[in-house]
């Protein structure tokens, strides 16, 4: 097995944004501890209760929510990824918190609440299409969420202020393994799945502009930051930590949520 090796990426961003590396094959536990910013009281509560509320529903989380192991056999983990917790301010704001993490990875000081309040387009429950608008308010536990186009719009509204060439793109439709190419390039991927890879189901229905849309629960949004042959590594805003899941388990929820993914480059 090769020794640990760093591969620096050319991000294409403006000077001064800071460079990040790709950590290949192995990484020290102490470094990962430094990566995970766990100063969120609600993360501890989530770990203690194992329960998450979204769309007015309460979901029990799996017993094992800890980060486990490191990518093996040539796997890759993005270095210095700033993990954030959505709680307590944004109990249903996993999507916008995931965006905040990625923006901060690129060197911005993107506050999750500022993004939610001022850049994310929101609409009332029952009259809003989650494909392009957040249903409800991320500050409230009875809200639902949004899909990739809404996060792309919020990201680009934020990035337009800086004119440094970075832009958000909807790269939905790829297989989970196909997204690994972005990790290889040093690009984290905002990705949709289910809470703790639970089996999901269609739940609440609305008729919006003559079209019936159905919410898939328990929808969750995370950031893909690493992989190896058997596992994926994600930054989970619900707990504020890095976590690993078997690829097959994660892929089930990813596919059910229409293979949605967003990158910034």
pLDDT at 27: 36
Here the tokens at position 130 are 């989650």
Tally the domains of the chain. 1
152: pLDDT strictly greater than 80: yes
Over 52-69, what HEC string results?
A: EEECCEEEECCCCCCCCC
Using 50, 70 and 90 to split pLDDT, how confident is the model at 236? very high
Average pLDDT over residues 128-147: 98
Tokens of 149: 């186009």
Query: Quick check: helix, strand or coil at residue 41?
Result: helix
Q: What is the DSSP string of 174-199?
A: --TGGGHHHHHTT--EEEEEEGGG--
Q: How far apart are CA 76 and CA 54, in angstroms?
A: 31
In a domain, 232, yes or no: yes
Q: What is the mean pLDDT of residues 224-239?
A: 97
Q: Is the pLDDT of residue 68 over 70?
A: no
The per-residue pLDDT for 54 is: 64
The predicted model gives 87-98 an average pLDDT of 98
175: nearest Cα among 98, 236, 75, 260:
260
Can you spell out the DSSP letters for 84-95? ---TTT-TT-HH
Bridge-based pairing of strands 168-170 and 76-78 is unpaired
Residues 72-92: what's their mean pLDDT? 94
In a domain, 239, yes or no: yes
Provide the whole-model pTM.
0.82
Q: What is the number of other CB atoms lying within 10 angstroms of the CB of residue 45? A: 13
56 assigned to some structural domain: yes
Cα torsion for 254, 208, 167, 23, to the nearest 10°?
A: -20
Residue 15 lies in a domain: no
Residue 178 lies in a domain: yes
Instruction: Name the residue with higher pLDDT: 16 or 47.
Output: 47
Question: Which of the pair, 9 or 182, is modelled with greater confidence?
Answer: 182
Question: Does residue 80 fall inside a structural domain?
Answer: yes
What is the C-alpha separation between 11 and 9, in angstroms, rounded? 6
Most confident of 28-37, 53-62, 168-177: 168-177
What is the pLDDT at residue 39? 33
Indicate whether 11 belongs to any domain.
no
Q: How would residue 30 be classed by pLDDT, with cut points 50, 70 and 90?
A: very low
29 occurs within a structural domain:
no
* Digit-coded pLDDT (tens) for 239-252: 999 999 999 999 99
Are 256 and 201 contacting, i.e. CB atoms less than 8 angstroms apart?
Answer: no
Give the CATH number for residue 94: 3.90.70.10
Radius of gyration of the chain (CA): 17
Q: Tell me what pLDDT residue 22 has.
A: 72
Of the pLDDT bands very low, low, confident and very high (cuts 50, 70, 90), residue 163 is confident
User: At how many degrees (to 10) do helices 148-159 and 94-105 cross?
Assistant: 40
- Mean pLDDT, the chain, whole residue set: 83
Domain housing 239:
38-264
Bridge-based pairing state of the strands 122-123 and 211-217: unpaired
């Amino acid at each position: 097995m090769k020794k640990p090796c760093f591969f620096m990426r050319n991000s294409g961003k403006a000077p001064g944004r800071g460079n990040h590396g790709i950590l290949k094959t192995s990484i020290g536990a102490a470094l990962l501890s430094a990566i995970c910013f766990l100063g969120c009281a609600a993360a501890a509560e989530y770990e203690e209760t194992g329960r998450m509320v979204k769309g007015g529903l309460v979901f029990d989380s799996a017993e094992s929510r800890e980060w486990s192991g490191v990518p093996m056999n040539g796997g890759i983990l993005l270095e210095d990824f700033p993990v954030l917790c959505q709680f307590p301010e944004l109990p249903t704001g996993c999507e916008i918190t995931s965006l905040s993490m990625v923006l901060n990875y690129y060197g911005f000081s993107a506050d999750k609440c500022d993004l939610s309040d001022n850049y994310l387009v929101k609409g009332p429950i029952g009259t809003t299409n989650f494909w392009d608008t957040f249903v409800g308010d991320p500050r409230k536990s009875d809200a639902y969420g949004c899909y990739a186009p809404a996060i792309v719009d919020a990201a680009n509204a934020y990035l337009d202020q800086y004119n440094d060439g970075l832009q958000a793109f909807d790269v939905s439709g790829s297989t989970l393994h196909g997204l690994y190419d972005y990790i290889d390039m040093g690009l984290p991927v905002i990705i949709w799945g289910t809470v703790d890879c639970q089996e999901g189901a269609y739940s609440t229905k609305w008729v919006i502009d003559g079209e019936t849309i159905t919410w898939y629960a328990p929808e969750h949004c995370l950031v893909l930051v690493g992989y190896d042959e058997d596992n994926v590594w994600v930054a989970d805003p619900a707990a504020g930590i890095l976590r690993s899941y078997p690829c097959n388990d994660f892929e089930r929820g990813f596919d059910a949520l229409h293979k949605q993914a967003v990158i910034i480059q």
